[in-house]
Structure 1
């Protein structure tokens, strides 16, 4: 098997206080590069947004998670750091509670997520932002190039 590695940046325009499923976009990128087996690391280059792997079947899970994070770190005049607005320091706290990087195994060019899992970018701020996620794949090239996956 031929070793391969790539590093690139994925730009994502976010909606305010939302979870953005990146699984399909990243999966398509792995397929287009003919990735085989290896490890994908995803890293968000911001301190007020995060990454998480969570359930993708019921959107109520995402809403409940966002609400729970708001209860843990509410916006308002509670913090010394307020230069960027009342939602900024709570966003930093939420990022500490979640994660800025994740490692996901890749098998035959596919993220090895569970049946009900997706990789999400979590926007903690109350305004939309342009976020950057660095993707680093280290592994092997697919034995045979695959045709693009059909769109759902």
Structure 2
């Protein structure tokens, strides 16, 4: 039986465009090994200052809608004080205030308890950093 705490780091290559990457399958695969049929909590954490974790519906346009909403709220222009990187990159450092870098989710009987249309997603608006780490941790 696995121990009460297990963790794994995923490496995600998000490319050179803004992305919403569905992590649900990777979370479920991790829990198959880590949870051993137990109840507990899954924490999903991205240790980057310009990315976040969202629970949204994917595949029906919501992922594109989320990126569009972030563009509306946080335009990629020269208004930002943080100015290194590509033009408008300062807004990427504000994104985690709206899409937090973590989510803690219930696990019942070793299975991730999501709503019917919920997916666990990495939201990455930083075109300057294509490689991301996502830490999955199970406590049960």
- Taking structure 1 as the reference length, the TM-score comes to 0.83
**1:127 and 1:81, CA in 2 relative to 1: closer, same or farther beyond 3 A?**
closer
Q: Are residue 36 (structure 1) and residue 2 (structure 2) matched?
A: no
| Residue in structure 2 matched with residue 123 of structure 1 by the alignment | 124
Q: Deviations over 1:5-38 (max 9, x none)?
A: 1022111111321100000011011113335210
Moved over 6 A (4+): none
Hey, what's the Cα distance between the residues in 2 that align with 1:67 and 1:51?
16
Q: Deviations over 1:101-138 (max 9, x none)?
A: 11000112211011100000001123561111111111
Residue 56 of structure 1, aligned match among 52, 58, 63: 58
Say which is worse superposed, 85-94 or 38-47, in terms of deviation. Answer: 85-94
Q: Deviations over 1:62-112 (max 9, x none)?
A: 111110100111112112211122232111112211111110001122110
| Unmatched 5+ stretches in structure 1 | 140-152
Which structure has greater strand proportion? Answer: 1
How many residues are paired up? 138
Where 1:122 maps in the other structure, the secondary structure is strand
Larger Rg over CA atoms: 1
- Taking structure 2 as the reference length, the TM-score comes to 0.89
CA contact (8 A) 1:36 1:108 kept: yes
| Unmatched 5+ stretches in structure 2 | none
Q: Are residue 27 (structure 1) and residue 1 (structure 2) matched?
A: no
